[in-house]
Structure 1
Amino acid sequence: MEPLELTQNATQTGAHRPGTTHEVTNQAPPLADYNLFACDAALGEALTRAGADWHREALTQHGAKLGLAATLELADLANRHAPELHTHTPRGERIDALEFHPAWHDLLALLRAEGLHALPFSEPRPGAMAARCAGYFLHAQLESGSLCPLTMTFASIPVLQNEPALFDTLRDKLYTREHDARDVPLAHKRSMMIGMGMTEKQGGSDVRSNRTEARPAGVASGRGADYLLTGHKWFFSAPQCDAHLVLARTADHAGLSCFYVPRFRPDGTKNAVNVQRLKDKLGNRSNASSEVEFFDAYGVMIGDEGRGVPTIIEMANYTRLDCVIGSAALMRAALVQAIHHARHRSAFGRPLAEQPLMQNVLADLALESEAATVLFMRLAHAFEQSAAQATQAEESDLARVARAWRRIVTPAAKFWVCKRALAFTGEAMEVWGGNGYVEEGPMARFYREAPVNSIWEGSGNVMCLDVLRALEREADAAQALFLAWRREAAGHPALGAALDRLSALLNGAPGTREASARRIAQQIVLIAQAMLLRAGPPEVADAFIATRLDEHDGDCGRVFGTLPARFDHAALIERAFPVTAPASGF
């Protein structure tokens, strides 16, 4: 009994216990059980400006659900257990089946339940596009991989709507809010997802170099006819989708055509789309990207023959908007985590969040995040305006401005916001120090995910060249937008000077314009963000303009944390993420 008495006495007196080295202190608790929507003032204000207040309660409930510890755990599980490819059954039958962790399907069920895959199309009303984009933004702060098939499904709807016969057979399965995880022929499913496959080994962004061939499956050819496709796709996103939109060449036409390629043939047998392997990619682990080969795969031509690129570019316009939102969401998620950590971590005798230099960094990140948020919400409104104006005989100045936002500002925003996310997530990770650099926390996943939106759906150079093309082809829309900005900038020297610099870039020698495309796109976005921020608190707009656009103080290439001392850094941080963040409510 003597050893037991000694142990008890040691415990009672607080003496050192063998094997104990230290007490865990000064570690930030996990951020959980907060409401992602209710704590985001910038998003709430933008929702009102977009005329989507009718969706506020749904977003409040969605934000509460996403902030629950159990929901956050789904994102971790889906990324720790990557999908597995099973090409054959034990009997040797080709199946190309993907096995996902249940958390993946739980995430997709959350997305569909909110209507984020179809809301503006299935339930059209003023503000529906902004409502959908706000909800997408909230989910993208949780997990990015599950957004890929949802984005492609959403973006495919306006393309498929132009094919009435085909769309009539798909409408209910596209619009339903139920997620059907089964890998069975579409006729037996309650819902569906659609992917896309454009990239081939030899082309990358240059899809016009694609070599996949399509030949008529019967006598009929052209739009609506059945075809057999032979070739490959180097990046085939989400191969588990029920169908994909792909590009291929027909023998009778020099251009590419667009095809709807289902996972199963009409007779219920597996289509000849063989998955060669899954990509071992940087970023999220939850989603599957693949390489595939077509061996007389069944497909239906959609759009006119030889007009595949213009047909599918409508889909790309929507996916590019989601790239902007996804990057803005990564920025928001990283910002909130950085502020939370700084409030709970002390160094050199006081909390990080009370130290002036750390406050400067966090306030600067908060400015960048809010600017990205108001930008994607304005783009969402422009997409809705453009759709509404499409049926009108005469185009108003307001419609031309909306067209400029959609056609010119969208690719510029896709370039700039996605680029900024890279530096932003790295800076936010640094706030966490070494804790941010390990995979057990969220910061490493945000950082790994940040590059993809800058690459997918057109790299930075492709986007900036697209901006130049749009400025030329949509000259009337560009003029309407710039005139509107001139009126809004009246009496504001820094904004007026920024517009002058943009004008000088646009009117430079023709031979220099392409080389300056990135600077042009950058300037367009910064002016757009500055204009939009002026609808909010003056201190936010003033700090952004002074540090991003002012000819003397502004330097968009600077590192974060160089705000002038005259701005109230603590107030900017509190606006971004209040000290008492609204709880989940569940």
Structure 2
Amino acid sequence: MTHDTTAPDVANTHQVFNQPAPLHGHNLYAGDTALREAVTRYGGHWGEDDLQRYGEVCGRPEWIERGFQANHYKPEFESHDRVGKRIDQVNYHPAYHQLMQLAMSEGLHASPWTDPKPGAHVVRAAKYYLHSQVESGHGCPVTMTFASLPSIQLSPVLAEEWLPKITDRGYDPSNRPHTAKSTVTIGMGMTEKQGGSDVRANTTSATPVGNGAYELVGHKWFTSAPMCDAFLMLAQTAAGLSCFLVPRWRPDGKKNPIQVQRLKDKAGNVSNASAEIELRGALGWLVGDEGRGVPAIIEMVAATRFDCMIGSAAGQRQATLQAIYHASQRSAFGKPLIEQPLMQNVLADLQLEVEGSVAMTLRMAQSMDHLDDSQQKLLMRLGTAVGKYWICKRTPHHAYEAMECLGGNGVIENFITARLYRDAPINAIWEGSGNIQALDVLRALGKTPAVLTAWYDELEKSKGSDTLFDTAITRLKDTLRNLDDLEYRARDVVDQMALTMQSHLLIQGGNTAVAEGFLRSRLGKHGAGNTGALPVGVDVKSIIERGNPLVS
């Protein structure tokens, strides 16, 4: 019997074409004009070579694949070992540990503390921004470890024991006492069922047991990264709410009774475990003064909120570069998507959001580099709250719009845009949700009026550059002079503060297309509405080119 070579091959139904290949092998730093310019502008020029190197690392296919694996294989909780001993162990996929190893070896948890100098926070923020685009979930313990140092320094005895291990660039995920390790990670436990952000409602108690130690009894409703070697926790003493460093193991090598009840089943941030825990007489050591728990831990909270800004800006960037890349490689209705006017409007608008987020984040990093300057310290006090509120809150809708640029592919889990969308709300909710940030701004304005003067002084540098900007400053001042129903209007106040600051920073940045596009779309008659509603006349092609990952 002979085969009929003229018959159709029914197994070969079609050819695959007009589908962009996965994006990898690109340099995340070289292809990010907004980031490169901001690093130089805010004092991180000396880190250029290292950032170029790391941008190439973060674009490698093997690291991108590890990001997917860490999210596909979720952490699993193991309460007891095979012979029945309580171990409270969370097991992660090896990809998670590889990502952690990379982050720690690059000093993302410690570099500004171990090598403080002008631009140290700027370079660290830029590097963390690149790293977070690979995978964001494991950034939680990296951030908490980084942020713990200012709080732990309040207790010299603890600092002497713990800081060398906190700042070490190794990574040791083993479930064993910190005394047997040369490197550790630090978590935090504030939230309880009944209080949430209202930590003064916490009921966990701490009782002194001698030699400076306390015994903690209670619970924590959200404890992320439960395999950290120690946690900063809030508990009530006779003097009021106090802060404690609570290790997972006691000094005698026995397990501290921090018992995991279950892991949270989260919509996003799934590579990172978040646990409900109970403290059954866990030993802890006082950080700062008794009864001054909030001032002690607020040092940590301020730094974690700053990292939320970095992480959300990074999410915006990764979403935008995916959208621009896709549009440059796919055609519809007879021509490439990137050449179609309405798609150009959307892509440019996505990039403008990134421009504002990067500028504000690295400007606050510059302030962190100069906290010996009272004006910079005042600017950062408002800037981290305003920036955390605005940037993190803008990211979920931004992620959705970028996802839509990919069409149906955008919602499929093996396209990174689906993960970016799931992860996008996390930073907006954690470390104080939108209302908490807005109220914190009002608290700062009431407690330290000089913070507003510092804010206005910064904005004044761009006054007279653009009538839309000048009008926005006038409106902001009028809004803040009116004290009626101020708490009710707090979100509108912070919206205006964020947009005027971003506008100022982009004016100072010197790129006319970006500044004009941002001001006309955010401060003009349309306001910061739906994506892709840029007014006619915006130089969308120049703006898109700045965000194209394949253009450097």
Task: Report TM bin, short chain.
Answer: over 0.9
State the alpha-carbon separation in 2 of the partners of residues 454 and 271 from structure 1.
32
State the alpha-carbon separation in 1 of the partners of residues 544 and 258 from structure 2.
50
Aligned counterpart in structure 2 of residue 148 of structure 1, from 136, 140, 143: 140
Q: Is residue 66 of structure 2 the alignment partner of residue 74 of structure 1? A: yes
- Corresponding position of 1:256: 241
Contact 1:545 1:554 survives alignment (8 Å): no
- Corresponding position of 1:216: 208
- Corresponding position of 1:492: 466
- Corresponding position of 2:216: 229
SS at match of 1:451: helix
Deviation string 1:260-283 (CA, Å, 9 cap, x unpaired) is 000100001111000000000111
Contact 1:415 1:459 survives alignment (8 Å): yes
Deviation string 1:502-529 (CA, Å, 9 cap, x unpaired) is 0111011x33111110011011110110
Aligned counterpart in structure 2 of residue 119 of structure 1, from 107, 111, 126: 111
State the alpha-carbon separation in 2 of the partners of residues 133 and 125 from structure 1.
14
Aligned-pair CA distance for 1:345: 1.3
- Corresponding position of 1:157: 149
Contact 2:173 2:227 survives alignment (8 Å): no
Q: Which one-letter code corresponds to 2:71 in the other structure?
A: N
Aligned-pair CA distance for 1:407: 0.9
Query: C-alpha root-mean-square deviation of aligned residues, in Å?
Result: 1.3
Aligned-pair CA distance for 1:480: 3.0
Contact 1:421 1:450 survives alignment (8 Å): yes
Q: Is residue 128 of structure 2 the alignment partner of residue 136 of structure 1? A: yes
Aligned-pair CA distance for 1:474: 2.0
State the alpha-carbon separation in 2 of the partners of residues 50 and 288 from structure 1.
35
State the alpha-carbon separation in 2 of the partners of residues 51 and 410 from structure 1.
19
- Corresponding position of 1:392: none
- Corresponding position of 1:317: 302
Contact 2:155 2:287 survives alignment (8 Å): yes
Q: Is residue 262 of structure 2 the alignment partner of residue 277 of structure 1? A: yes
State the alpha-carbon separation in 2 of the partners of residues 415 and 541 from structure 1.
22
SS at match of 2:269: coil
SS at match of 2:283: strand
Aligned counterpart in structure 2 of residue 239 of structure 1, from 215, 226, 231: 226
Deviation string 1:36-78 (CA, Å, 9 cap, x unpaired) is 0111111111111222111111111111011011110010011
Contact 1:468 1:517 survives alignment (8 Å): yes
Contact 1:145 1:284 survives alignment (8 Å): yes
Q: Is residue 443 of structure 2 the alignment partner of residue 469 of structure 1? A: yes
State the alpha-carbon separation in 1 of the partners of residues 173 and 49 from structure 2.
28
Q: Which one-letter code corresponds to 2:536 in the other structure?
A: A
- With 529-538 and 66-75 compared, the bigger mean Cα shift is at 529-538
SS at match of 2:286: strand
- Corresponding position of 1:518: 491
- Corresponding position of 2:34: 42
Aligned-pair CA distance for 1:565: 2.1
Deviation string 1:465-524 (CA, Å, 9 cap, x unpaired) is 11111112221231133134234213532111101110111011x331111100110111
Contact 1:246 1:261 survives alignment (8 Å): yes
- With 274-283 and 173-182 compared, the bigger mean Cα shift is at 173-182
Deviation string 1:275-324 (CA, Å, 9 cap, x unpaired) is 00000011122110000000000100111011001110110000000111
Q: Is residue 531 of structure 2 the alignment partner of residue 560 of structure 1? A: yes
Contact 1:201 1:233 survives alignment (8 Å): yes
Q: Is residue 367 of structure 2 the alignment partner of residue 367 of structure 1? A: no
User: Residue 272 and residue 323 in structure 1: after superposition, are their counterparts in 2 closer, same or farther (change >3 A)?
Assistant: same
Q: Is residue 318 of structure 2 the alignment partner of residue 333 of structure 1? A: yes
User: Residue 38 and residue 95 in structure 1: after superposition, are their counterparts in 2 closer, same or farther (change >3 A)?
Assistant: same
Contact 1:486 1:496 survives alignment (8 Å): no
Aligned counterpart in structure 1 of residue 342 of structure 2, from 349, 354, 357: 357
SS at match of 1:488: coil
State the alpha-carbon separation in 2 of the partners of residues 122 and 554 from structure 1.
46
Contact 1:160 1:167 survives alignment (8 Å): yes
Contact 1:409 1:467 survives alignment (8 Å): no
- Corresponding position of 1:343: 328
Aligned-pair CA distance for 1:375: 0.6
Contact 1:34 1:581 survives alignment (8 Å): no
User: Residue 487 and residue 44 in structure 1: after superposition, are their counterparts in 2 closer, same or farther (change >3 A)?
Assistant: closer
State the alpha-carbon separation in 2 of the partners of residues 88 and 480 from structure 1.
54
Aligned-pair CA distance for 1:166: 1.1
Contact 2:223 2:276 survives alignment (8 Å): yes
State the alpha-carbon separation in 2 of the partners of residues 176 and 483 from structure 1.
39
Q: Which one-letter code corresponds to 1:468 in the other structure?
A: L
Contact 1:505 1:516 survives alignment (8 Å): no
Contact 1:409 1:524 survives alignment (8 Å): no
- Corresponding position of 2:274: 289
State the alpha-carbon separation in 2 of the partners of residues 362 and 44 from structure 1.
20
Contact 2:379 2:454 survives alignment (8 Å): no
Contact 1:363 1:573 survives alignment (8 Å): yes
State the alpha-carbon separation in 2 of the partners of residues 458 and 78 from structure 1.
26
Aligned-pair CA distance for 1:577: 1.4
Aligned counterpart in structure 2 of residue 404 of structure 1, from 375, 378, 388: 378
Q: Which one-letter code corresponds to 2:184 in the other structure?
A: M
Aligned counterpart in structure 2 of residue 173 of structure 1, from 153, 156, 165: 165
State the alpha-carbon separation in 2 of the partners of residues 487 and 273 from structure 1.
52
Contact 2:118 2:370 survives alignment (8 Å): no
Deviation string 1:147-191 (CA, Å, 9 cap, x unpaired) is 000000000011111211111111221111111122211121121
State the alpha-carbon separation in 2 of the partners of residues 431 and 481 from structure 1.
37
Aligned-pair CA distance for 1:115: 0.6
Q: Is residue 444 of structure 2 the alignment partner of residue 444 of structure 1? A: no
State the alpha-carbon separation in 2 of the partners of residues 36 and 487 from structure 1.
31
Q: Is residue 520 of structure 2 the alignment partner of residue 546 of structure 1? A: yes
SS at match of 2:462: helix
Q: Which one-letter code corresponds to 2:231 in the other structure?
A: H
- Corresponding position of 1:378: 363
State the alpha-carbon separation in 2 of the partners of residues 144 and 322 from structure 1.
11
State the alpha-carbon separation in 2 of the partners of residues 492 and 575 from structure 1.
23
SS at match of 2:485: helix
- With 567-576 and 487-496 compared, the bigger mean Cα shift is at 487-496
Contact 1:243 1:260 survives alignment (8 Å): yes
Contact 2:117 2:369 survives alignment (8 Å): no
User: Residue 491 and residue 117 in structure 1: after superposition, are their counterparts in 2 closer, same or farther (change >3 A)?
Assistant: closer
User: Residue 46 and residue 226 in structure 1: after superposition, are their counterparts in 2 closer, same or farther (change >3 A)?
Assistant: same
Aligned-pair CA distance for 1:141: 0.8
Aligned-pair CA distance for 1:554: 4.1
State the alpha-carbon separation in 1 of the partners of residues 544 and 359 from structure 2.
17
State the alpha-carbon separation in 2 of the partners of residues 166 and 536 from structure 1.
47
SS at match of 1:565: coil
- Corresponding position of 1:576: 547
Q: Which runs of 5+ in 1 are unaligned?
A: 390-398
Contact 1:233 1:292 survives alignment (8 Å): yes
SS at match of 1:30: coil
Q: Which one-letter code corresponds to 1:229 in the other structure?
A: L
Q: Which one-letter code corresponds to 1:517 in the other structure?
A: A
State the alpha-carbon separation in 1 of the partners of residues 41 and 404 from structure 2.
34
- Corresponding position of 2:56: 64
Deviating beyond 4 angstroms after TM superposition, the runs of 4 or more aligned structure 1 residues are none
Q: TM-score, normalised by structure 1?
A: 0.92
User: Residue 346 and residue 86 in structure 1: after superposition, are their counterparts in 2 closer, same or farther (change >3 A)?
Assistant: same
Aligned-pair CA distance for 1:20: 2.3
Q: TM-score, normalised by structure 2?
A: 0.98
